[in-house]
Structure 1
Amino acid sequence: MSSAAATPATEVLLPGTVDPGGLQVRTRHLPPPATGRVLLRMDATGVSFAEQQMRRGKYYDQPPFPFVPGYDVVGTVVATGPGVDPALTGRRFAAVTKTGAWASLLHLDAADLVPVPDGVTAAAAETVAVNGVTAWQMLHRTAHVPHGATIVVLGANGGVGSTLVQLARHAGMTVIGTASTRHHDTVRRLGATPVDYRDPAVYRRIRDLAPHGVDAVFDHVGGPGLQDSWRLLRRGGVLVSYGTAATKDEDGNSRLPVLKLFARLALWNLLPNGRSAHFYNFWAGRRRPEAFRARLREDLTQVLALLADGTLTAQVAAEFPLREAAAALALAESRTVAGKVVIVP
């Protein structure tokens, strides 16, 4: 049980639709954790594409401004609330938060904590928290890609993409990955064949590498290129869409591009050509909290174990202290780095 004293916490606040430099740093006092909750000291959090969309007000289902961003966190329990095992204190865990993790301390439900294996650094674990679960679930729960398949990963140098490439290679798949030429060596080291995403003929280059089509395409870009991703599939192939990066800078309703995407995927699934299209939603099934948490815990535990045994290599693009979150966000948005930008205390 924690003491009754409030604890000061440093937080990074997203006040509205601002440039990265418009982020604000504040200090507020957190009360002791409530029943079923813990007080977690942040050891690492990160910058995902979600935060890049949120600062523009473009992330589907984001909370109203102002709020503290931060999609996931790795940290150490420093206090427990009523009904929580005090033995959790001092242990490290990962959790997916959606918002709130850009803080030195935060309250979390104890049921959302997933143990981090000994020997895995906080920064390394952070790179596979939401990214690792996303990659694992898309590959094994959504697409059900078989051993020996050939897949395409758009953005193979990114946080999700680099993890997805490694998981696919571990599962015996051939991977073609798009990235800018500066990241081709990284993509090769991960085990994929790189293709320049800036090449106007990028889809023809992929078709040259897989003339009979591919078994799956993982597309976070959306927009007009989604049609080209669909055309890459062989009969029985699966398209998994998990973002609308192509429209992130467009003005207007943040929900409209997603709704248009849903309609397009639904239409394609009506076509009698043996292919299928899916939109991956990390939060699908959350209306059944126990089942959602069990699935998340199982999948993140699998990914963390692969990180611990060396099957996965953490792709840390850079580390920034919490008070320099603005610089971390700007670097992540620059598209000049491979892997995930990590924020530390």
Structure 2
Amino acid sequence: MNAAEMVEVVLPGKVEPEGLQIRQGHVPTAGPGQVVVRMEATGVSFAEQQMRRGRYYDQPPFPFVPGYDLVGTVTATGDGVAPGLVGTRVAALLKVGGWASHVVVDAADAVPVPDGVGAAQAETVVVNGITAWQMLHRKARVHAGHTVLVHGANGGVGSVLVQLAQAVGAKVIGTASARHHAALRERGVIPIDYRTENIPARVRELAPGGVDAVFDHVGGRSVIDSWRLLAPGGTLVSYGSASTRDDEGSKQWPVLKLLGRIWLWNALPNGRNAYFFNVWAGRALSRGRFRARLHADLTEVFAALKRGEITAQIAAELPLTRAAEAMRLAESGTVAGKIVLHA
């Protein structure tokens, strides 16, 4: 591939991972207020797994280039953007478009990556880190002395949640399959096997008065149990419906049902709170405020990464052209951490 060519991965429709298409083209040009980023690392998140099934609730119509986030180096700037930005390593949250060797990004959406933090390291905490940080600090407001329950404690978001919660002095209970328990114990997490144990009963043994916060990406029956496990004044943060990943029918219905439950729970006079977290919430109402908050919070996440409060968990690194293999690996449930793609 020469300097004027780019490679991107296209999701053409509801396909198996092997149905992903590799396409070549010309490197895009930055428009006013934009930059071209040469991708160094992007990742496979749960969103892409849902999108290839047509199950992500606000995905664009097929075909499109997936890729929720990326880390890379600015190679060109458009009108109105400081030329000195060229050569800077940045991260960006995109929702789609990251699985490409070169990506056009609004300069205002590019967050500098600190010196000393590698591209793959930074990639593991872009969408996962911003999600974990905002749920923990902006929604649940977890602090020292709290006890929290993290579902999927070995996963991309869950593993960052665990570490950020511990960094503020919280006690963490985490669900995961048994093969991940030893690693969780080493981190100081109390593990529960979601496959063989009764999660509500075990949590009540560990926290008889209830937990101060639950972070639930599972949805379905799990979110009802999560609500019931809260202590007075506790907070439930639901941020997905993983249990419906392979379902058929409307992709909006699981989310709408969750939102209905959360509205009802918050209407009850019981002092507990429930949220459905969407990292994009508020963007349509105030793009400037959304960007400022994202920039501030992702900068905090990168600082925590650099301090060692959170560690980059890279499950595997594969070239972009092996995206199908990366997707298969991510969906296998056999790895801990982020599957990272590089150009």
TM-score bin, normalised by smaller chain: over 0.9
Q: 1-side partners of 2:231 and 2:309: how far apart? A: 29
- Alignment-mate amino acid for residue 258 of structure 2: L
Q: TM-score, normalised by structure 2?
A: 0.97
Question: Pick from 18, 21, 39: which aligns with 2:18?
Answer: 21
Aligned to 2:72: 75
Is 1:303 the equivalent of 2:316?
Answer: no
* 1:101-139 deviations in Å (ceiling 9; x for gaps): 000111111111111111111111000001100000000
- Alignment-mate amino acid for residue 272 of structure 2: R
Runs of 4+ in 1 over 4 A off after TM superposition: none
Aligned to 2:320: 322
**CA shift at 1:61, angstroms?**
0.8
What's the secondary structure of 2:74's corresponding residue?
Answer: strand
Question: Pick from 78, 81, 85: which aligns with 2:82?
Answer: 85
Report how many residues are paired. Answer: 341
Aligned to 2:135: 138
* 1:118-161 deviations in Å (ceiling 9; x for gaps): 11111110000011000000000011123210000000000000
Question: Pick from 230, 234, 255: which aligns with 2:252?
Answer: 255
Q: 1-side partners of 2:310 and 2:130: how far apart? A: 13
Aligned to 1:65: 62
- Alignment-mate amino acid for residue 327 of structure 1: E
* 1:42-67 deviations in Å (ceiling 9; x for gaps): 00000111001000111011000000
Question: Pick from 176, 181, 192: which aligns with 1:184?
Answer: 181
Q: Which runs of 5+ in 2 are unaligned?
A: none
Aligned to 2:342: 344
Is 1:9 the equivalent of 2:38?
Answer: no
Q: 1-side partners of 2:303 and 2:209: how far apart? A: 35
**CA shift at 1:72, angstroms?**
0.4
What's the secondary structure of 2:163's corresponding residue?
Answer: helix
Contact 1:165–1:191 (CA<8 Å) still a contact in 2? Answer: no
Aligned to 1:50: 47
What's the secondary structure of 1:35's corresponding residue?
Answer: coil
Aligned to 1:292: 290
Q: 1-side partners of 2:340 and 2:49: how far apart? A: 14
Q: TM-score, normalised by structure 1?
A: 0.97
Aligned to 2:226: 229
Aligned to 2:280: 283
Q: 1-side partners of 2:82 and 2:187: how far apart? A: 40
Q: 1-side partners of 2:22 and 2:217: how far apart? A: 31
**CA shift at 1:200, angstroms?**
4.5
What's the secondary structure of 2:265's corresponding residue?
Answer: helix
Aligned to 2:195: 198
Aligned to 1:3: none
- Alignment-mate amino acid for residue 320 of structure 1: L
Aligned to 2:264: 267
Q: 1-side partners of 2:187 and 2:55: how far apart? A: 31
* 1:271-302 deviations in Å (ceiling 9; x for gaps): 22221111001001102111000000000000
Q: 2-side partners of 1:132 and 1:32: how far apart? A: 29
Question: Pick from 7, 26, 30: which aligns with 2:27?
Answer: 30
What's the secondary structure of 1:292's corresponding residue?
Answer: helix
**CA shift at 1:227, angstroms?**
1.1
Q: 2-side partners of 1:32 and 1:66: how far apart? A: 21
Q: 2-side partners of 1:234 and 1:199: how far apart? A: 25
Contact 1:162–1:190 (CA<8 Å) still a contact in 2? Answer: no
What's the secondary structure of 1:177's corresponding residue?
Answer: strand
Q: 2-side partners of 1:31 and 1:293: how far apart? A: 23
Q: Which runs of 5+ in 1 are unaligned?
A: 1-5
- Alignment-mate amino acid for residue 104 of structure 1: S
* 1:286-330 deviations in Å (ceiling 9; x for gaps): 021110000000000000011112111111111111000011111
